[in-house]
Structure 1
Amino acid sequence: MSDTGKYHLPAGSSADGPYDLLVTPESAGWGYSGLRILTLEPGEAHVLSTRDCEFLVLPLTGSCTVTTDGKAFELAGRTGVFASATDFAYLPRESEALISSATGGRFALPSARTERSSLSARYGSKAKVPVELRGAGACSRQVNNYCLPGTFDAEQLLVCEVLTPGGNWSSYPPHKHDQARPGQESELEEIYYFQVDGGEQAFGYQRVYGTEDRPIDVLAEVRSGDTVLIPHGWHGPSIAAPGYDLYYLNVMAGPGQDRAWLICDDPAHGWVRTTWDSQDVDARLPFGGDEER
């Protein structure tokens, strides 16, 4: 039986109060990962209380000011997710922040439940976000590595963006990270939040399937504002339909105290990686390459 209806959240179906999307560990039925999408009209502001979670404030469109603990972080943001990477702000647990926007915008608030609070609120510069071109040929994609081990410190939270040109496959070969196996695989819950370029008719697909002992079966047609929850299992491909570029924000967190991102390919498809050596990276990448970083 398909689990698509359980783990695919169409745009607007999980809106709550000021949020276009509200995913908490409780609503997802797991322990750590969360995501909120906040839209502010020009001149509006929102108070975010982090409680037992750490957060990023990551502009999708527009700019904002994040004020917390006597500090003010000016986030220049961007015109859209395909235009460039963005600057961002980090908020520790048990803090309160005012997010205000003079011109309006849409902001992702990825989060992770954590018992630790060793880090302070701080600014993440756009210029320091590693932009990686991964794969080759029809598996070419761009990854903006905001908050991963080695790119930006956090307690539990892992955040990146993947941009896939129309007609390409990303999150491929399918992989998983649902077991703690030191040096091989880390246990992480994951959220995929999608935007698709090309208007209301634009779409893509997301596949998630399980192992023998932990079944899951998701095949979702995704559109802008949709979300897919991945508690476990193999996930991929993420398919960008021809003519429509696909974006997704990845939010990951789990119980591991070493904050590792270790994945295991589905052995039935892992061989695909060996074909990339003889192919060029898609010439359409990187997105927004003409915009100053």
Structure 2
Amino acid sequence: MTDVSTYHLPRGTSADGPYDLLVTPESAGWGHSGLRILTLGPGQAHTLFTGEFEFLVLPLSGRCTVAVDGQTFELDGRRCVFASVTDFAYLPRESEALIGSAAGGRFALPSARTERGSLPARYGPKEDVPVELRGAGNCSRQVNNYCLPGTFEAEQLLVCEVLTPGGNWSSYPPHKHDQARPGTESELEEIYYFQIAGENGFAYQRVYGTQDRPIDVLAEVRSGDTVLIPHGWHGPSIAAPGYDLYYLNVMAGPGQDRAWLICDDPAHGWVRGTWDSQSVDPRLPFGGEEAGR
């Protein structure tokens, strides 16, 4: 059995300085993906030096301004992760950004190590974020595609949000992306950061390995928890009945083509074929008309 504490980071256990969560490639024991969660009080600001990483500034709640490379981006934000998609900002390698919030809020800072720095700082309006409904029946979920191939250009970074109604299963069937197989699978480290609706809300996250690369995690997660996935099959992410589930996915890897190619566990991939005869959960999309653009 894998030591679950290696990969399941309960809220507060990886806090550092101004960050509620600080995951770096060094702390995770891998090479590329990172995530910070920053809380700002009213009128507070934080300076971020990107160094050898590219970042997004992605509001979880509240609004902020991002001043970088002579530009200032106004991020309209949102009330909470279940209310709507959000504006975001892209920060390139070797830049300095000042993140400030007049009313305060919480902000995700996903990152990826990159040797390239060819892209400028940019603003991503919420109106341009593709919202996708995946699966059907009790495997229905919503995916907000912020920074994926074909939706927003980056060097190595991939970022999306998944929202799952209470009682449903996400990241299912289990899948993996831990080896480079052109046209079939890409090598990506992944971070899951969770928020759950309701004071006592909880969910479960499963990660298990192959014969050659074992890993064995079954974690009960609550708001603010994080699960690291260095390799192996991951899924399901199970939302307990009565508690809607949100998680932020951050991915990066060594491949220079920035592909997101997954391989289903062959023992469970057949489940996809059952969705054709089922309807999408009517509780989706979250956020009403705004999320359902």
TM-score, normalised to structure 1's length?
0.99
How many Å separate the matches in 2 of 1:148 and 1:232? 20
2:131 maps to a residue whose letter is: V
Alignment partner, residue 231 of structure 1: 230
Q: Is the partner of 1:39 in helix, strand or coil?
A: strand
Alignment partner, residue 34 of structure 2: 34
Q: Is the partner of 2:275 in helix, strand or coil?
A: helix
How many Å separate the matches in 1 of 2:263 and 2:44? 43
Q: Is the partner of 1:271 in helix, strand or coil?
A: helix
Alignment partner, residue 287 of structure 1: 286
2:11 maps to a residue whose letter is: A
Shift of 1:290: 3.6
Alignment partner, residue 180 of structure 1: 180
Alignment partner, residue 251 of structure 1: 250
Map 1:135-284 onto structure 2 (within 5 A): 135-199=135-199, 201-284=200-283
How many Å separate the matches in 2 of 1:2 and 1:89? 37
Shift of 1:89: 0.1
Shift of 1:5: 1.3
Alignment partner, residue 113 of structure 1: 113
1:48 maps to a residue whose letter is: L
Q: Is the partner of 1:277 in helix, strand or coil?
A: helix
How many Å separate the matches in 1 of 2:140 and 2:130? 17
How many Å separate the matches in 2 of 1:178 and 1:69? 35
How many Å separate the matches in 1 of 2:154 and 2:116? 10
1:271 maps to a residue whose letter is: W
How many Å separate the matches in 2 of 1:229 and 1:23? 9
State the superposition RMSD in angstroms: 0.7
Shift of 1:4: 1.3
Shift of 1:2: 3.1
How many Å separate the matches in 2 of 1:4 and 1:278? 37
Cα distance per residue 1:27-80 (max 9 Å; x no partner): 000000000000000000000000000000000000000001110000000000
How many Å separate the matches in 2 of 1:202 and 1:119? 39
Cα distance per residue 1:132-164 (max 9 Å; x no partner): 000000000000000000000000000000000
2:283 maps to a residue whose letter is: R
TM-score, normalised to structure 2's length?
0.99
Q: Which runs of 5+ in 2 are unaligned?
A: none
Q: How many residues align?
A: 292
Q: Which runs of 5+ in 1 are unaligned?
A: none
